[in-house]
C-alpha cells in the first residue's frame, strides 16, 4: 500500500467514526410524526392520508358530507354552481350486480395536477402533503378545476355569508377539501372521519402514511387498497379498500 492510500484510509476511517458518533445518541436518520406544537410549521416527515373502506360505507349515508358542510360552513346545496367538497359516489357492476358506495373528495395527490397548472401559485401542496388553495393569491381562473382528474375542486360563484372563523371562503376563488387542516394542525382529525365513526361505520381511517406504526399504515400494509386513477401516477393520499 502506498503512503497516500494509507493516509486516505485512515482519514475515511476517522470520518466514518465521527459521523457514526454524531448520529448515535438519540438521533435517527428517519423521524416520524409527533403532535405538532403550536407555532411549529407543518413537517415534511408527515404525509397525511385517508383510507376509505368501501365495504363499510353504507349506500345512501351522507354523514361525512353533512359533517363536512357543517364544519366548513358550506351551504350543502347541490345546484351545478354550488361547492361540493365531498361527493358520495355510487357504483354498480351491471354484470355481477355488486354495488359500491364511497365518498370522493380531494385526493391530496403527491403530484397534484392542480398545482402544476396554477398560474399564480395559489394552488399548493403543504409540506405534510395536504393540497390547498391560498385564496389570497387565487384569481379564480379555474385551470385547477379543469386539471383535477377527481372533479374535487369547486368555484365559489356567489358572495358567501356565515363563514367559519377557521374556514374563510369567498366569491371568485376555487376551493376543495382541506382535510380539515385547521383541526389537523391542532392535533385533530377531519370532520368526515369523526362523523363516520360517530355513526358506527368506521369506514374512514385518517393518519400519517409515513409513520409505519399508524393505524392507516398498518391497514395499508395488511389489506389491498387502491388509489383512484393510479394510472395517472398522481400518488393520492386518499386510498380505497374494496373497489
Partner 1 sequence: MTAAGTLRAALAAMLLLAVGAAGVIARAAAPALDAARSGPCVEDPLVMRRSHMDFLKHDRDDTVRRGIRGVKHSLAACVDCHASKSDGRVLGSDRHFCQGCHRYAAVKLDCFDCHASSARPAATAAAAPVSGAAR
Binding site for partner 1 (CB under 8 A): 36, 38-42, 124, 126-128, 130, 132, 134-136, 159-160, 163-166, 168-171, 173, 181-182, 185-186
| DSSP code of residue 217 | H
Smallest gap from Cβ 111 to partner 1, in A, equals 19
Question: How many helices (DSSP H) and strands (DSSP E) are in the chain?
Answer: 7, 10
Residues in contact with 85: Cβ distance below 8 Å, sequence separation at least 6, in sequence order: 68, 69, 72, 74, 105, 106, 152, 154, 175, 176, 177
Of 54 and 83, nearer to partner 1 (C-beta) is: 83
Residues in contact with 234: Cβ distance below 8 Å, sequence separation at least 6, in sequence order: 107, 109, 110, 111, 112, 113, 149, 227
Shortest CA distance to 47 belongs to which of 110, 117, 133?
Answer: 110
Smallest gap from Cβ 164 to partner 1, in A, equals 6
Smallest gap from Cβ 104 to partner 1, in A, equals 25
Of 76 and 170, nearer to partner 1 (C-beta) is: 170
Of 104 and 122, nearer to partner 1 (C-beta) is: 122
H or E element: which one contains 196?
helix 191-198
Of 56 and 157, nearer to partner 1 (C-beta) is: 157
Smallest gap from Cβ 177 to partner 1, in A, equals 16
Amino acid at each position: 500500500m502506498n503512503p497516500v492510500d494509507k493516509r486516505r484510509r485512515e482519514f475515511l476511517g476517522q470520518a466514518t467514526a465521527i459521523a457514526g458518533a454524531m448520529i448515535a445518541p438519540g438521533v435517527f436518520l428517519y423521524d416520524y410524526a409527533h403532535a405538532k406544537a403550536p407555532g411549529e410549521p407543518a413537517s415534511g416527515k408527515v404525509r397525511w392520508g385517508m383510507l376509505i373502506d368501501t365495504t363499510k360505507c353504507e349506500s345512501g349515508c351522507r354523514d361525512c358530507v353533512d359533517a363536512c358542510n357543517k364544519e366548513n360552513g358550506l351551504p350543502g346545496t347541490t345546484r351545478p354552481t354550488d361547492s361540493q367538497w365531498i361527493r358520495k359516489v355510487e357504483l354498480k357492476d351491471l354484470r355481477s350486480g355488486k354495488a359500491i358506495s364511497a365518498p370522493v373528495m380531494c385526493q391530496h395527490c403527491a403530484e397534484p395536477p392542480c398545482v402544476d397548472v396554477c398560474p399564480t401559485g395559489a394552488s399548493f401542496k403543504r409540506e405534510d402533503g395536504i393540497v390547498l388553495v391560498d385564496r389570497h393569491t387565487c384569481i379564480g381562473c379555474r385551470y385547477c378545476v379543469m386539471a383535477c382528474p377527481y372533479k374535487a375542486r369547486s368555484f365559489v360563484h356567489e358572495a358567501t355569508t356565515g363563514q367559519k372563523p377557521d374556514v374563510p371562503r369567498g366569491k371568485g376563488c376555487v376551493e376543495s377539501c382541506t382535510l380539515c387542516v385547521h383541526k389537523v394542525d391542532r392535533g385533530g382529525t377531519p370532520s368526515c372521519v369523526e362523523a363516520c365513526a360517530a355513526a358506527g361505520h368506521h369506514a374512514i381511517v385518517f393518519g400519517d402514511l409515513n409513520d409505519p406504526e399508524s393505524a392507516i399504515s398498518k391497514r395499508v400494509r395488511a389489506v389491498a387498497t387502491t388509489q383512484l386513477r393510479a394510472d395517472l401516477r398522481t400518488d393520492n393520499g386518499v386510498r380505497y379498500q374494496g373497489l
